[in-house]
Amino acid sequence: MNCFFCQRNIKEIDFKETQLLNRFISFSGKIKGKKKTGVCSSHQRKLTRAVNRARHLGLMSPVSKAVTR
């Protein structure tokens, strides 16, 4: 399985593209592992950095949207 970003020739992952980043977030709000998503190591590190930047700036929620009781 090839990397999602390598297939599309994406060199840098932009933290402002929250729709793209949400594909790699689990229902509980955690970043999915590279074995589940099929992303290579270098893009997984860039993905993690982009998600953390988006969360820090308030573009993404730091927790899941699941209703807790």
Q: What is the mean pLDDT of residues 34-44?
A: 94
Q: Closest by alpha carbon to 60, among 37, 29, 28?
A: 29
CATH number at 25 reads 4.10.640.10
pLDDT band at 28 (very low <50, low <70, confident <90, very high): confident
- pLDDT value of position 45: 96
- Residue 62 pLDDT grade (very low, low, confident, very high; cuts 50, 70, 90): confident
Q: How much is the pTM?
A: 0.85
- Does some domain include residue 13? yes
Q: Give the count of domains, the chain.
A: 1
Q: Is residue 63 part of a domain?
A: no
**For residue 63, what pLDDT band results from cuts at 50, 70 and 90?**
confident
* DSSP code of residue 68: P
Domain residue limits at 29:
4-56
- How many residues are there in the chain? 69
Look at residue 65 in the predicted model and tell me its pLDDT: 64
Q: Indicate whether 25 belongs to any domain.
A: yes
The answer as to whether 16 is a domain residue is yes
In a domain, 27, yes or no: yes
